[in-house]
Amino acid sequence: MPANKVIIHPRWIVAIALLLITLSINISMPLFRIYSAAAGMNNAQTSLVLAAYILGMLPCYVFIGGISDRIGRKPILVVSVCCALLATCIITVFPDVYGLIAARVLQGVGLGLSMGTGTAFISELLTKESSSATKAANSASLFTSIGFGGGALATTIVLLNHFTLTPVTYFILIGITFAGLILVLFLPRLPPMGGSLIRLPYFPKGSFPINLAIAICWAANGVVIAIIPSELEKYGLTIYGGFCLVLMNWSGAFLQPFIRRMDPLRSVKLGFYVVPVGFGLVCAGSYASQLPVIFIGSFIMGLAAYGFSYMGGLSIIAELGGLQKARAVSGYMFYGYVGFGIPAIFLGYIADRIGILNSLYFFELVIIGLSVYLFYRIKNINLASEVLLEK
């Protein structure tokens, strides 16, 4: 074999595919409010547009979670990348709110099909290595975190230099996603494991406070993404909403290696302090029209949403799930994504009636109340699971 020939390990091709899928999801996020405003939509309707990808994702994630076990990892990953590619093409050709809705649904399907598939695929490609499942989860977590924030960051930077409804990032993403699809086609096709196509989530005893905790974290993020751009619009700063998303996704994600060393229960409890403080700063920044304060609040919220609360909760749920670990984690993610979408829609509706700031204050009180309740409720997780966690 020639010395200068570079071969990409299949695990990295799968990780790149996950990166491309998640890049597509928020590539147009800085233009959400602008597309919606051009169509005369209010805050509630804009929140519905934001949540459209959950409409595509949850049925795939919840009801056909075993599809890659049945027909193989590679075909499902190919379909997922195709969904991301088609979604970016749609929003490029139709840069308006209706194109955005269609793109969001496709992005949701791509995400719902790829998350479990990609992690399992990497794990199977690393079977000969020790801790293959952990390495797979870490790779998937890192690349998807970069993707979720990276798309929004790239578009925001472009728009700050030259405003357009079809930023160059759309075209670049189409090109690299097509190249990524070619790479995915050359992945080895591993034999399917078999099993049930439908895998409904499992909610083990004692999991409710943990599941609700991640729902609150992701709800706060969803509200910031859906509502804050409308507030920023008053000062001509709508585009800067993309930075909020980047800060929320990356702050906790890049701390994950350190957070994994913490006691999971302590990590979740720390999140009960972090989220109200972060969202409170977002409220204060919106009230005072101080963009840096909003950014700091977004950064702090991300420490919980993708760091302390997320990683700690994931570990606890995996322990509580026992032999049904995969289904229990699906239940955990189900709560998270429902939390991300539903409260944002409700707050959008409230914002149209009592004002954006008042709706944010209201939600801050809800977050504080639920955080206090869960802080004490989480102590009642059964002793057996706590013993496991201490080990």
294 SS3 class: helix
Closest CA to 142 of 257, 280, 301: 257
Range of the domain at 185: 1-199
Phi, psi for residue 237 in degrees, rounded to 5: -115, 20
Q: Are residues 2 and 151 both part of a single domain?
A: yes
Q: Are residues 80 and 210 both part of a single domain?
A: no
- State both tokens at 164: 């357009």
Residue recorded with tokens 């989220």: 275
The predicted structure's pLDDT at residue 388: 41
Residue recorded with tokens 């914002």: 351
Q: Are residues 115 and 235 both part of a single domain?
A: no
Q: Choose between 201 and 92: higher pLDDT.
A: 92
Q: Are residues 148 and 211 both part of a single domain?
A: no
CA–CA dist 329, 251 (Å, integer) = 23
The average confidence (pLDDT) of the chain is 86
Whether 61 contacts 334, CB under 8 Å: yes
Q: Are residues 216 and 188 both part of a single domain?
A: no
Compute the average pLDDT of residues 285-300: 91
Q: Are residues 80 and 90 both part of a single domain?
A: yes
Compute the average pLDDT of residues 98-115: 93
Structural domain ending residue among the three candidates 199, 226, 254: 199
pLDDT reading at 4 higher than 60:
no
Q: Specify burial of residue 93 (Cβ count, 10 A radius: 0-12, 13-18, 19+).
A: exposed
Q: Are residues 221 and 160 both part of a single domain?
A: no
Phi, psi for residue 373 in degrees, rounded to 5: -60, -45
Compute the average pLDDT of residues 302-331: 83
Confidence band, pLDDT 50/70/90 cuts, at residue 387: very low
Q: Work out how many domains the chain is built from and give that number.
A: 2
60: Cβ contacts below 8 Å, ≥ 6 apart:
108, 109, 112, 113
pLDDT reading at 389 higher than 80:
no
Q: Are residues 186 and 213 both part of a single domain?
A: no
The predicted structure's pLDDT at residue 390: 39
> Per residue in 238-286, pLDDT tens?
788 788 888 888 888 788 888 888 888 899 999 999 999 999 999 999 8
Percent of residues, the chain, with pLDDT higher than 70? 93
Q: What Å distances lie between residue 104 and 40, 133, 136, 344, CA to CA?
A: 19, 30, 27, 16
Percent of residues, the chain, with pLDDT higher than 90? 38
Q: Are residues 236 and 177 both part of a single domain?
A: no
Whether 331 contacts 213, CB under 8 Å: no
Q: Choose between 323 and 91: higher pLDDT.
A: 91
Structural domain ending residue among the three candidates 199, 220, 248: 199
Q: Choose between 240 and 383: higher pLDDT.
A: 240
Q: What is the DSSP string of 100-121?
A: HHHHHHHHHHHHHHHHHHHHHH
Structural domain ending residue among the three candidates 137, 170, 199: 199
Q: Are residues 180 and 232 both part of a single domain?
A: no
> Per residue in 54-103, pLDDT tens?
888 888 877 777 788 888 889 999 999 999 999 999 999 999 999 999 99
CA–CA dist 100, 92 (Å, integer) = 9
Q: Whole-prediction pTM value?
A: 0.85
- State both tokens at 181: 């699809």
Closest CA to 123 of 15, 200, 198, 196: 15
The predicted structure's pLDDT at residue 3: 44
The predicted structure's pLDDT at residue 379: 65
Of 19-23, 53-57, 257-261, 316-320, which one has max mean pLDDT?
19-23
391 SS3 class: coil
pLDDT reading at 6 higher than 50:
no
CATH number reported for the structural domain that contains residue 33 in this entry: 1.20.1250.20
pLDDT reading at 148 higher than 80:
yes
Q: Are residues 19 and 114 both part of a single domain?
A: yes
pLDDT reading at 385 higher than 90:
no
Q: Choose between 202 and 358: higher pLDDT.
A: 358
Q: Are residues 172 and 299 both part of a single domain?
A: no
